[in-house]
Chains A and B, each alone.
Chain A
Amino acid sequence: MIRFKVNGKEKTFDGDPDMPLLWYLRDVAELTGTKFGCGMALCGACTVHQNGAAIRSCSTPMKEVGGAEVTTIEGIAPMHPVQKAWMEIRVPQCGYCQTGQIMQAIALLKENKNPSDQDIDTAMSGNLCRCGTYQRIRAAIHQAAKETA
């Protein structure tokens, strides 16, 4: 039996310990804001926070989340300054990757209150966007940083 927290709520899991956290969140916990994109930690669509740090839930097996505090997009109280900036800059096109982008950006701003372009590139280049919203993502992170400063 694996015990952990999702968005502050106590959870237990006694299924396949190899099941990635992603599929637990989506298929078992019905928290579908976290997206499946590649299954290999190559695209970042599945990004959530484990004890505050951004992780790829598609490559994190359930056996590694015991005792952890997991936060998904549903656990971010809207409108977080990052979400607000995403709205104002009108970042999303299709929107599918954006919850992963937002979770990555929130984790970045927690570590680095005033990231440079280079810092943003480094932190965000693991998150793919096929629609190509990178320019607006960068602008939105700068704006959110200003707001939280």
Chain B
Amino acid sequence: MKLIENVSANVSRRGFLHGALVGGIFVLSARFVPQPLWAAEGEAAAAAFEPSLWMSIASDGTVTIVAHRSEMGSGSRTALPLVVADELDADWSKVKLDQAIGDPKYGDQDTDGSHSVRSSFDLMRQVGATGRVMLISAAAAQWKVSPKECSTEPHFVVHRATGRKLGYGEVAAAAAKLPVPRKEDVPLKPRSEWRYIGKESNSLFDLPEIVTGKAIFGMDTTMPGMVYASVEHPPVLGQKIKSYDDKAALKVPGVQKTLIIETFKPPHQFQPLGGVAVIADNTWAAFKGRKSLKIEWDSSPHAVYNSAPFRKTLEATSRQPGKVVRNVGDVDAAFAKGGQIIEAEYYTPHLAHVSMEPPVAVAEYRDGKVVAWAPTQNPQAVQETIAGVLGIKKEDVTCHVTLLGGGFGRKSKPDQVAEAAVLSKQLGKPVKVVWSREDDIRFDFFHSVAAMYLKAAVAPDGKPTAWLQRTVYPPINSTFDASATYADDEMGLGWNNLSFDIPNHRAENGPADYHVRIGWLRSVANIYHAFAIHSFADELAHAANKDSVQYLLDLIGPPRIVSLTYKEEEADDKQRYPLDTARLRRVVEIAAEKSGWGKRPMGKGRGMGIAAHRSFLTYVATVVEVEVDGKGQVHIPNVWTAVDAGTVVSPDNVRSQFEGAAVFGTSLALFGEITATNGVIDQSNFHNFQIARMNRAPRHVDVHIVNSEAPPAGVGEPGVPPFAPALYNAVFAATGKRVRELPLSKTKLV
């Protein structure tokens, strides 16, 4: 039983990290005296500095580094240990990774918001550098020389004067007895001595297992004695079971029984949706049994949800004054002066995440405690959710993190893990809950539908003197507070931080009710905010008869730090990541130059468009080239993206993320739309919720990374927001049609 061995191996490995000596292996961490140099209380706390939490060195030289972030394809699981290994001066081929369980001692573990490297870069450097100092001290003591006479080369301490060497494994046991040095006594490598950070040769740690099919995703996890479950959820959010008949389902070979999962009490948060679970010997039997269930559902207030009238409501709200979220000068006075006024409205639909691995989890409840294995972006949310649903302490929930078959924000929400725990408690054995693709699409935490209204007063030189923007959509906070209607938390995602140099500017947000679960999807509200802002910018450029790139640079204005209001928790952003228009201008100039903007003959049906958007503290400009064929089908021969993400750990991985973002952007720009009828989601699988296939994806994506020594910024998400507006601006250039709603498949171009 390969998989069971995998489970127990994980558990014992974790055991020795906590200080046990296993099989005679000396572990550096075992004797570390925990001396937190800075430690904070609470869940969202910064991780305590306690090197034993993060790494150990065995006497054979094997370095084990804890990966406390999830791997969903963005590279975090590799990137952070690479930083430790670099400062430790370890030989990467002798490094093993230990995927952390959910535990607040690691600080925030939610792999979202493109902040894994940004939030942990300094800490990981310090962990590695501390280990290096201790290894040097131990070797120096053995040689009876001063540590100052020693240095390191990968996996060895070297005494420079005599050329003597000691392997890390040879001095690990002695090093483990030393006190942890103070932060000020731990020098960090100068940038010029980095071996791994910023190097082209870095590749994903799990690459060999992935290409041979040995990598273990959540879908591949098993527990001894487990059964399989598939859950028929209420079609409308919040419905309860009125009655059900499982006679036919129980006759399906392999079906064992059915169980009820209670419908949540609002707010839904990450609780199970409720429904009827079919328990079976294997996944297929559970799926098949479900088809024979007859369930009558109660009513729900969300059965009123119909996408077409809801759109009208959002649009009507967007035409009315909303809550002011940023104000510069006086737009009303500027509009009152008259001159040329330009208005436009934009609309974007719900989207589903459709990570290739649907939601799945295995959990066992035993003696008041839960052990879960899940492809989760946020193992601490698994602990909290299961604890809340079952009424146990979160410390009694152990969440192991597998590889994720994509996440994109969906897997920050662990409702399916809670389902497995709830069912295991009822059954008294481990349960694997497998969602079908239909479940995944119908019961997502959807990217929100949104309506935007923009208005500008334009001076005779074509530059706006006033710019008003309003946005309206059901907020993500409705997931946590059923009465929430304003999107306060999303305003920083491209709405209250416009980087344009316009004397009068006001950004507003209007209220909207929710009727489905709303959640984060890769780059979140930046998607619709960037779509509206950068479509509108291009509209103004054309109205002024100006070149789109030059007009965009004029809008951004001279190099400066844009004055913004920061929340308390954004103090680091204000200090280390001010909005610097010089960096934004630079990516625009690079993307334009690389694309041959204005220099390449386009011909009939061809065009290029540009958009530049800063999100997750990273500056991105994207040029998209389109070819619209005689049938009105859009092809994308080329995309050029320029990225300034500050210091980069793995450049090739950054390119991968931006190549992928162009495909993700293509999917939402050309195809993506989720709609509801009487509260029920209309789409169900890849035939009616399409994502880009190879033949419709951009043929060539060129990613240019700006060489920067600025602090590291986000990489996983920032490529997405500028893509759709750049594509739509290109479609305008190619066809003269200005389309103001996503996706493009809803508009006939010829």
Residues of chain A touching chain B, judged by Cβ–Cβ distance below 8 Å, are 15-16, 18-20, 23, 26-28, 30-40, 42-43, 45, 72-74, 76, 78-79, 83, 86-87, 90-99, 102, 117, 120-122, 124-138
Q: How far is the CA of A33 from the CA of B2 in the complex (A)?
A: 13
What is the CB-to-nearest-CB distance from A112 to chain B, in angstroms, rounded to a whole number? Answer: 16
B689 to chain A, nearest CB (A): 10
- Supposing A16-B253, A87-B208, A92-B207 touch, asked if A134 and B691 sit within 8 A by C-beta, the answer is no
Contact status of A95 and B694, CB under 8 A, knowing A36-B358, A87-B208, A136-B659? no
Q: Are A32 and B693 in contact (CB under 8 A)?
A: no
The residue from A31, A86, A96 contacting B211, defined by CB atoms under 8 A apart: A86
- What is the CA–CA distance of A98 and B204 in the complex, to the nearest angstrom? 14
Q: In the bound complex, how far is the Cα of B696 from the Cα of A122, in angstroms?
A: 11
The interface centre, meaning the residue of A36, A97, A120 with most chain B CB atoms within 10 A of its CB, is A36
CB distance from B533 to the nearest CB of A (A): 24
Candidates A23, A34, A96, A126; contact of B284 at CB < 8 Å: A23
From residue A137, how far is it (CB to closest CB) to chain B in Å? 7
User: A23 — which chain B residues lie within 8 A by C-beta?
Assistant: 282-284
When C-beta atoms are compared, the residue in chain A nearest to B656 turns out to be A93
**CA of A131 to CA of B355 in the docked complex: distance in angstroms?**
8
CB distance from B724 to the nearest CB of A (A): 14
Across-interface contacts of A94 in B (CB, < 8 A): 71-73, 355-357, 403-407
Q: A133 CA to B228 CA in the complex, in Å?
A: 32
Q: 29 A-B pairs, CB-CB below 8 angstroms?
A: A16-B285, A26-B220, A27-B283, A27-B284, A33-B212, A34-B213, A39-B437, A40-B686, A42-B685, A43-B686, A72-B213, A79-B211, A79-B212, A87-B203, A87-B211, A90-B656, A92-B207, A94-B73, A95-B73, A95-B211, A99-B210, A121-B694, A128-B356, A130-B408, A132-B660, A132-B661, A132-B664, A134-B694, A136-B656
Q: Is B698 at the interface (CB under 8 A from chain A)?
A: yes
Q: A36-B219, A96-B356, A120-B694 are in contact. Are A87 and B207 (CB under 8 A)?
A: yes
Contact A78 B656 (CB under 8 A): no
User: Which residues does chain A contribute within 8 Å of B685, judged by CB atoms?
Assistant: 38-40, 42
Q: Are A95 and B436 in contact (CB under 8 A)?
A: no
Q: In the complex, what's the smallest C-beta–C-beta distance from A97 to chain B, in angstroms?
A: 5
With A36-B219, A94-B404, A133-B660 given, can you name 13 additional A-B contacts, CB distance below 8 Å?
A15-B253, A19-B282, A27-B284, A30-B3, A32-B3, A33-B214, A37-B358, A38-B437, A39-B436, A95-B211, A128-B691, A130-B355, A131-B660
Give bound CA distance, A132 to B206, whole Å. Answer: 18
Give chain A's interface secondary structure class: loop
Count B interface residues, CB 8 Å. 69
B3 contacts across to A, CB distance below 8 A? 30, 32
Q: A28 — nearest CB in chain B belongs to which residue? A: B282
| Nearest chain A CB to B230 CB, angstrom units | 11
How many angstroms between the C-alpha atoms of A18 and B3 in the bound complex? Answer: 26
Which residues on B are within 8 Å of A, measured CB to CB? 1-3, 71-75, 203-204, 206-208, 210-217, 219-220, 222, 228, 253-254, 282-285, 287-288, 354-358, 403-408, 434, 436-437, 652, 656-657, 659-664, 685-687, 691-695, 697-701
Which residues of chain B come closer than 8 Å to A26, judged between CB atoms? 220, 283
- A90-B203, A96-B356 given; A132·B254 CB < 8 A: no
Check A20 against B284 for contact (C-beta < 8 Å).
Answer: yes
- Given A18-B288, A137-B694, do A35 and B660 touch, yes or no (CB 8 Å)? no
Residues of A within 8 A of B686 (CB): 38, 40, 42-43, 128
- Cβ contacts under 8 Å, B663 to chain A: 129, 131-132, 134
Residues on B with beta carbons closer than 8 Å to the beta carbon of A20: 284
Complex CA distance for A129 and B691, rounded to whole angstroms: 9
Residues of chain A lying within 8 A (CB to CB) of residue B216 = 32
Residues of B within 8 A of A28 (CB): 282
Inter-chain contact A78/B212, CB cutoff 8 Å: yes
A133 to B464, CA, bound (A): 40
Residues of A within 8 A of B220 (CB): 26, 32
Residues of B within 8 A of A37 (CB): 356-358, 437
Cβ contact within 8 Å between B213 and A33: yes
Q: Report whether A124 and B437 are in contact in the complex, using a CB–CB cutoff of 8 Å.
A: no
Instruction: A34 to B663: give the CA distance in the assembly, Å.
Output: 24
Shortest Cβ gap from A107 to chain B (Å): 15
With A20-B284, A32-B219, A130-B355 given, is the CB distance from A40 to B253 under 8 Å?
no
Contact A93 B693 (CB under 8 A): no
A135 to B656, CA, bound (A): 10
What residues on A are CB-neighbors of B283 within 8 Å? 23, 26-27, 36
A95 and B215 within 8 A (CB)? yes
Q: Is the CB of A125 within 8 A of B693?
A: yes
Give every chain A residue within 8 A of B405 (Cβ-Cβ).
35, 94-97
Task: List residues of chain A with CB within 8 A of the CB of B2.
Answer: 30
B residues in contact with A99, CB < 8 Å? 210-211, 213
Name which residue of chain B comes closest to A88, CB basis.
B203
Residues in B neighbouring A122, C-beta threshold 8 A: 695
Given the contacts A40-B437, A94-B73, A129 and B207 also touching, CB distance less than 8 Å: no
Q: How distant is the Cα of A19 from the Cα of B254 in the complex, in angstroms?
A: 11
- Inter-chain CA distance A76–B228, complex, in Å, is 29
